[in-house]
A and B are shown apart, each in its own frame.
Chain A
């Protein structure tokens, strides 16, 4: 790549060739506002017309998000014509936008509002009829409100690129265009995974998680014993909500905040993760021993379970029957914990803090008893903390409550990143098969953020092949092999969101517009930064294998018996639906 000479507003710069004007301008120190462009200004649509600039010699104004720079190009960002044009584009968008900003869940993260400020848009400059709106609140995980949608198309791209299923698409034409699942249906009656990846890229309040804060409020008010658990990936990102740089661990402060919010107990879902490993590794060994259906596939990710049921029902026999960690945890709290403390389970209200919106859906599945009563995303937890006047910066570091379900291992922590469940399971399975711990605890082969990873492990002379995939578009290849009976693996880990839960649909938004202190390439690095929080916490743990968790051992000894026992089956395992209709009748 050579260098080219360009001029921006009269000043000369040298930048690498092949960039768009928007990218080049950023490198030269100019932020051109844009709404449809994502990934630092790579855009295939050029549809919002907010990033217009003048280029000498070009016909009319050009969209800087797609226009490539060229040698000798003279660009004007600040010319009166360009400034007025950008403002007018935003003002027109605002005229077809439901502007109830104060009550909008996206307030504070709304790119439209921010860009409006940046271009100096005047309120009510244009006004008139608005596109007929649909508000879909039927799905437990997601809410879609077309009155906020600016048709940037990012969600459509993300659904296609991450999950390969294209649930969302443009419908109708012209002023009546909307973004919706087929036929403007609800997410609930579409084969949507409710993973929330679309929410993560939506610039406005058009796509949001289905908030359950009110339910938690009500339970606290009703004097219930509200027990909270937090998933591993939450600690890797929660600090971002309070202005910390991406990759800052937030475990101690998060626990401190939860204590201040009045929860009865603050537990770590990692305990549930360790329990999952016990059950899942046991299930794997049983399948191997009894020549059962292999490969076995993990079941912790509810987005993936949705994908399984809608798109690969033939693969159901391969999938572990284990509930996900927080559901196991919920079941244990309402039985073992309740019994030990002599609490009526009806008085317990379980809240799970998850990096995920599909978990909201998961807890409502008819195959799941009411063990978890509300799921809040990382973002919702941050709202709760802010609302309560808690100053994050001043919070001390506190520990999770050590009460029956307190101890957790490094194996549980890494559940939050792709490859983590596999690594944790291998640690335990290896021990059970060989009677000794693997001398190298870190299974590097299954780490990293590639879409599909493979590894082979020598267990007493037998080579066991395993694979890991995140993002359903990546998983598809492995699943086609399984479906065709040609999978060479014994065990496969599948996570719905690309990179695993650290990049879940309930995690803090990563939007360069609001992150002036992050590097330019933050969209390429944030997953690794969050993952590193989990891997370093794993290393800091003295116990790093699930089977060595003392509280887990005690739980089996005093309550469950052994992994796979009848009681364990009843409380910790579930079943799947093989005939889910993709587009059931009605809306």
Chain B
């Protein structure tokens, strides 16, 4: 491995590796390059074995001179994975299985033709689409800031990152005064991507202005928001980019050490980050006198261990210090008294991933993207009841409609859009009326939700909003650290009231109490987790009050989700009497009647079935197994 000790050496390495990379993507005549998605989603569908198979075939067939095969970060379009992309044509194969490797090698690499059957089919036009940028999912995206390098470079090879321009931003920053770096970030308008959207430059300024022998930068990778996986993909796809962002921050505030706090649930991200740090150290880009300057910096990894509250920055600091992840009162703010009581800045993974772009391209270019008060791009984890599930990076200011229907491809199975939950358990539900709102920090708050870290869960008419509120409350109740009484006890009481309502035992007085309690938790809790915990209740109550009332007054769950308020029924005119439902019923709740199914001869032993509501455990297996659509929820 080479050593990079000066700016000149960095620039030379960038040019050398860059041309290699260039060759990989734009291949010399007759040569090709294959990349395979190495994100968690694709790996769970054995993309590692797929890659191994491809490499084995290349070797067996003596194609080493003609083609390379490497792993890259996440493609983001996870519902279509695993992905294989072939350069220079940029053909994108989707849902590739291990056994498809042979055909790709034979047909595409050797034969030079596209493997049609592995191409993505556009759900609207039903046409096969060969190239990534032609797919609707990618059309509106801007995947070159936070997701820069994802799905292009090998995340385990620092040389490719350097070839793509890694550390050039750091190099530029090191030629600036720390204050100038902060000014640049301030000017860019970058706001924290972890949730609250506090201006990043101002955070840096606080810590910069404090005198201290030691300061720390901390990267918050404790992505606990259920339904969000932006940070994981960013680290998995391009760990160097985040390290570089952290280094620039360290230089700006005067810190010598940086801590990555990563969820233990993300082993791949942790390994890639660990590997990237090691490579940076070996090459001389982490350690003493970086690029020949006085700037010295080291990175450390600390693992979370399954506590959502550690996403709260003071709880995170306690966790790094080896304590229970219970938030600290503020003031003092971490920028003044943080990790081990030293001035510390905590930034989210995605925030740091934005920093190199700003320093490299200038604040003005960055600020040109987005809305007036929310600049740049935002990565969302689009999930739930939407056709194109995956990770998207979009410029601030696109509308929810574009996000859900253009990028997301709308709601599956022709169902009706009901709501989109942004901001996770701290956020709220946005509905039809908010669909044309441009997405930015302030608009989402005004609409009763928040940006949060970027989870965006779409719900359709089959989702019960009281049940959704109960789901989030269960989550918060489990994840409340237990330190302050309003959150510890209040969320439990909220959950009890919600359970009462979904069990059909609620009263209108309970509803008032629930609202009042939600307000108490919001105003009285110690930390951000508690203060935002009631948001799912308050926002669903605001938008779907009728649904709450239906549970209480009519004793009905309109979406047929709440088990106590719904039952499965067999439609007599549709039942053909096949008995599949009865055979699959775990509770033996389904039996034959005397009725002969419509249009069936009496001589056959087929009889219409019925469900004994007393015995039914409402597992839904009967409905799942009925091929005639004869079983409904009522």
A residues bordering B, Cβ < 8 Å? Answer: 44-49, 52, 60-61, 63, 66-68, 81, 85, 88-89, 92-93, 95-96, 126-129, 150-151, 170, 172-177
Interface string of B506-538 (1 = CB under 8 A from A): 000000000001001001111000010000000
Known: A47-B526, A49-B526. A173 touches B481 (CB 8 A): yes
Which of B307, B329, B485, B524 has the most CB atoms of chain A within a 10 A radius of its CB? Answer: B485
Most buried by A among B478, B488, B493: B488
User: What is the size category of the interface that chain B forms with chain A?
Assistant: 20 to 34
User: Are B523's CB and A81's CB within 8 A?
Assistant: yes
Which of B307, B482, B489, B523 contacts A85, CB < 8 Å?
A: B523
A49 to B531, CA, bound (A): 12
Q: Are A52 and B524 in contact (CB under 8 A)?
A: yes
Interface of B is mostly: helix
Judge whether B331 and A172 touch: CB under 8 Å. Answer: no
A67 surroundings in chain B (CB, below 8 A)? 329, 331
In the complex, which residues of chain B have a beta carbon less than 8 angstroms from the beta carbon of A48? 484-485
> Are A170 and B324 in contact, CB atoms less than 8 angstroms apart?
yes
A276 to B169, CA, bound (A): 77
Q: Smallest distance from the beta carbon of B309 to chain A beta carbons, Å?
A: 8
Interface of A is mostly: loop
Cβ contact within 8 Å between B479 and A174: yes
* A85 neighbours in B (Cβ, 8 Å): 520, 523-524
Is there an interface contact between A129 and B482, defined as CB atoms closer than 8 Å? no
CB distance from B553 to the nearest CB of A (A): 23
Chain B residues within 8 Å of A177, by CB: 481-483, 488
B484 touches which of A49, A129, A176 (Cβ 8 Å): A49
Are A175 and B520 in contact, CB atoms less than 8 angstroms apart? no
Question: Which of A44, A66, A92, A172 is the one whose CB lies under 8 Å from B489?
Answer: A92
A19 to chain B: closest CB distance in Å? 14
Report A-chain residues with C-beta under 8 Å of the C-beta of B331. 66-68
Q: A95-B489, A126-B493 are in contact. Are A175 and B524 (CB under 8 A)?
A: no
**Cα–Cα distance between A151 and B480 once the two chains are bound (Å):** 14
A63: nearest chain-B partner, CB-CB: B329
Contact of A46 among B307, B329, B478, B482 (CB under 8 A): B329
Q: Is the Cβ of B489 less than 8 Å from the Cβ of A93?
A: yes
Q: Is the CB of B477 within 8 A of A174?
A: yes
Docked CA distance A200–B525 (Å): 28
A-contact 0/1 string along B322-341, CB 8 Å cutoff: 00101001010000000000
**Among A45, A88, A129, contact of B483 (Cβ-Cβ < 8 Å):** A45
B108 close to chain A: CB less than 8 A: no
Question: In this assembly, does B486 line the interface, its C-beta being within 8 Å of a C-beta of chain A?
Answer: yes
Q: Which residues of B contact A96 (CB under 8 A)?
A: 485, 488-489, 492
Across the interface, B524 reaches (CB within 8 A) one of A61, A68, A170, A174, namely: A61
Q: B481 to chain A: closest CB distance in Å?
A: 6
Chain B residues near A63 (CB-CB < 8 A): 329, 526
- Identify the closest chain A residue to B323 (Cβ): A170
Query: Of all chain B residues, which has the CB nearest A84?
Result: B520
A175 touches which one: B324, B482, B523, B525 (CB < 8 A)?
B482
A-B contact pairs, 16 of them (CB 8 A): A45-B483, A61-B524, A66-B329, A67-B329, A88-B520, A92-B486, A92-B490, A92-B493, A95-B489, A96-B485, A126-B493, A173-B307, A174-B481, A175-B477, A175-B480, A177-B488
**B485–A49 CB distance below 8 A:** yes
B binding-site residues for A, Cβ under 8 Å: 307, 324, 326, 329, 331, 477-486, 488-493, 496, 517, 520, 523-526, 531
- Report yes or no: A61 in contact with B523, Cβ–Cβ below 8 A: yes
A172 touches B329 (CB 8 A): no
Is the Cβ of B482 less than 8 Å from the Cβ of A92? Answer: no
Cβ contacts under 8 Å, B524 to chain A? 49, 52, 61, 85, 88-89
- Residues of A contacting B482 in the complex (Cβ-Cβ under 8 angstroms): 151, 170, 172-177
Cβ of B488 and Cβ of A174 under 8 Å apart? yes
Complex-state Cα separation, A411 to B598, whole angstroms:
106
A128 pairs with B492, CB closer than 8 A: yes
A93: chain B residues within 8 A (beta carbon): 485, 489
> What 3 A-B pairs are tightest by C-beta distance, nearest first?
A177-B482, A46-B329, A174-B480
Chain A residues closer than 8 Å to B479, beta-carbon distance: 173-174
Q: What is the CB-to-nearest-CB distance from A76 to chain B, in angstroms, rounded to a whole number? A: 14
The CA-CA distance from A88 to B518 in the complex, in Å, is 11
Question: How far is it, in angstroms, between the C-alpha of A206 and the C-alpha of B155 when the chains are bound?
Answer: 55
In the assembled complex, the CB of B264 is this many whole angstroms from the nearest CB of chain A, namely 16
Closest Cβ of chain A: how far from B496's Cβ, in Å?
4
Kindly list chain B residues whose C-beta atoms are within 8 Å of the C-beta of A173.
307, 324, 479-482
- Cβ-closest chain A residue relative to B479: A174
A residues in contact with B525, CB < 8 Å: 49
* Given A49-B526, A60-B531, A177-B482, A128-B490 contact (CB < 8 Å): no
Residues of B within 8 A of A45 (CB): 329, 483
Q: Which residues of chain B are near A47, meaning CB under 8 Å?
A: 483-485, 526
Beta-carbon contact of A92 and B480 below 8 Å: no
Which residue in chain B gives the minimum CB-CB distance to A54? B523
Distance in Å from the Cβ of A45 to the closest Cβ of chain B? 7
**What residues on B are CB-neighbors of A89 within 8 Å?**
485-486, 520, 524
A385 and B486 alpha carbons, distance in the complex (Å): 40
Contact of A60 (CB < 8 Å), options: B478, B492, B523: B523
Instruction: Return chain B residues, CB-CB under 8 Å to A81.
Output: 523
* Shortest distance between the CB of B202 and any CB in chain A (Å): 15
Least CB distance, B317 to chain A, in whole angstroms: 14
Supplied contacts A63-B526, A85-B520, A126-B517, 5 more A-B pairs, CB within 8 Å = A46-B526, A66-B329, A151-B483, A175-B488, A175-B492
Closest to A70 in B: B331
Nearest B residue to A170 via CB reads B324
State A127–B513 Cα separation when bound (angstroms).
11
Shortest distance between the CB of B123 and any CB in chain A (Å): 42
Q: Which A residue's beta carbon lies closest to that of B482?
A: A177
Shortest CB distance B330–A (Å): 8
| Residue of B whose beta carbon sits closest to that of A86 | B524
Taking the closest CB of chain B, its distance from the CB of A396, in whole angstroms, is 48
A175 to B189, CA, bound (A): 40
